Amino acid sequence: MNKFYLGLLSLSIITGSAIAQNKTQPKADTLKQLKMVTVKGYLTEQPVLSVPASVSVLSAAQLKLQPDNSFITALNTVPGIRAEERSPGSYRLSIRGSLLRSPFGVRDVKVYFDEIPLTDAGGNTYLNALDIGNIRHIEILKGPDGSLFGANSGGVVLLSPVNRLDSSYLSAGVNGGSYGLFHQKVSLQNSSKNYRFNFNQSYQNYDGYRQNSRMHRNYLQAGDAWQYAKNSELRATVLYSDLGYQTPGGLTLAQAETDPRSARLPTKTLPGAIDQKIRINTKLLLGGITNDAKIADGVRNVLTVFGNHVDFANPFITNYEQRDENTYGLRTYFQFEGKQSANFDGKLNIGLEWQQTNSLISNYDNNKGDKGNVQKIDKINTNQHFFFARYAADIYKRLHAEAALSLNYYHYKFRNTAPLNEADFTNRDFTPQLMPRFALSYQLTNDFIWRASVSRGYSTPTTAEVRPTDNIVNTGLQAQFGWNYETGFRLRNKDESMLLDASVFYYRINNAIVRQLNPNETEYYVNAGGTKQPGFELAFTDWLIRQNNTHFIRGLQFNTSLSISRFNFRDYNVAGNNYSGNKLTGVPREVVVSSLQVLLPQGLSVFVQHNYTSKIPLNDANTVYVGKYHLLQAKASWQHQLGKTRLEIYAGADNLLNEKYSLGNDLNAIGNRYYNPAAPRSYYAGLGISL
């Protein structure tokens, strides 16, 4: 396969260079206008071409091509991203790294929802509470970028629920499919000269392929914006999500081959998933107000005040956990711009972010899905805040240089209310940490840009790691940290209908936080050495046939992404075993995702996507692997304009090759229960109306 990857890379570069230089331009009346890709992740909007970082953008058009029932398929089109869904609603997300810290959920990645941190002060991120059908734009900043976004060593995901260029609209859609899939959504936006209001509602239900894997989500989201001055806007955002999903649990290889639809079976010492009615219920209420104001010529301030409440319940094999979490905070930054000249343009940003999360975590006996006797109840209050500064300069319109620095503070305190009923909190302070980032990009030609960066990652333990399911608060758990070195280039043609983005990086992590399991399957976390993470990523997109209104093929777009990860443990010792040099658990060495979009007359279109994922080590000893797999999906749609109303009908299929695979495995599983079989070939169809 290595020859295949080298060949693909060489072909992409050669083809891209030829296309950029030689592709003829179609007539103006046959070419649909292509929009320049921009990013806002570095506090000001700028063309992605010149950004001196590995940043990927999923636009509304790209998201629309993917099934809107889950984030997973869309996120996995981005090189360096590993998104998993072991059962419907049970997300895991990793950027350039291992999932050792994440039995479920999202850790070591900072996520924002329209200027509001979705990741709380304790490091929890309830990404699965959101409905991707209501997300209009996603930016992913890969690698440590804590200089602007605080403590993280994996990366940053920025979710935008509103496209501010959209005018008023009303849309509704419904789709259904195999295994009881049903998804309904309504979106409304009303825009006038100075006001913009949007509202989104959705409901999703999925019975699931396996036993005990049903999920449902009720979702409401609203936003209001008032432009009270020419360059000033006041925005309010609120969302409510009620998510519930059952978790079938892992199977052994023999069980998965005998009956892949089975939930986890009971043993001589522990009951099964159905007996214990294992499930997760999450109710999330999040809101915030943002004031984006021009204070004076060259001076801008963005201030966001936010808060959220989470009600979480998880009946599991060994206990019944409830969490009551309340977060509040603010984020603000100033931007100062000097006078532009022909050869120099500079910007300075300074700001801070402050969060407080107060958690009440209660564990009870699980009596077949009902709460039993109290095991332990703790209060944990977590505070995380940081100050940041960034200076960026464009020199002679070719050299772009950035320097950024943040000073990060982390503190938590805890008190046991049962059974000890402690009167006072115990404090745990972390030493403040500096996180620098330096980056350059240089425009060698109008269409070829080279970039390089060096940055420090720093990731504090999350509340779920400090106080894991063994119910013991681990005050000795330290933060992990490391340095990331990276270089790459971007190549485009004149109108950016073709873009090639390639990068190579080396990330060295120390004090790696890893999950361990006790014999009774309760978990705990330790610092266990470090990792060496060299990798290569490539993303290529091109309209092989430009969009037009005259030919039978009205447009043909090809996309591919390639991730090569040579991640290994370093000085890694766990429970008396030395795993130094072993491959990083849960990380495939190679992933290639490619797609074709074909536009046809009469509003017809076809989209086909292929995902190749190499074999994955399932334990630290590298003695158990899950095999490689090929996933093939396809979607056909028809759009028709009836006056001001647009009608869309579509149908699609997933796993067309009927592969036997797991879309997420249990790592280092007790009893060799590694496997969570995914659904075989399945189908869906839907209808959408917009006006």
Q: Two tokens at 657? A: 């090759």
Mean pLDDT of the chain: 91
- Mean pLDDT, residues 604-625 taken together: 97
Of residues 328 and 14, more confidently modeled: 328
Pairing of strands 155-160, 109-113: parallel
Distances in Å between the Cα of 443 and the Cα atoms of 370, 440, 505, 534 are 62, 10, 20, 26
What topology does CATH give the domain 38-690?
Maltoporin; Chain A (2.40.170)
Q: Mind listing the pLDDT tens digit for each residue in 430-468?
A: 999 999 999 999 999 999 999 999 999 999 999 999 999
Q: What is the mean pLDDT of residues 342-357?
A: 95
Sequence ranges of the domains in the chain: 38-690
**Pair 202, 134: CB distance under 8 Å:** yes
**Rounded alpha-carbon distances, angstroms, from residue 319 to 234, 304, 380, 469:** 45, 38, 19, 8
pLDDT in tens, 229-283: 999 999 999 999 999 999 999 999 999 999 999 999 999 989 999 999 999 999 9
pTM of the model: 0.92
Span 114-168, pLDDT tens digits: 889 999 999 999 999 999 988 999 999 998 876 899 888 889 999 998 866 667 8
Report d(CA 96, CA 143) in Å as an integer: 7
pLDDT digits (tens, 9 = 90+) for 305-343: 999 999 999 999 989 999 999 999 999 999 999 888 889
Question: Residue 566 and residue 614: Cα distance in Å, rounded?
Answer: 12
- Answer whether 572's CB lies under 8 Å from 114's CB: no
Looking at residue 576, what is its pLDDT? 86
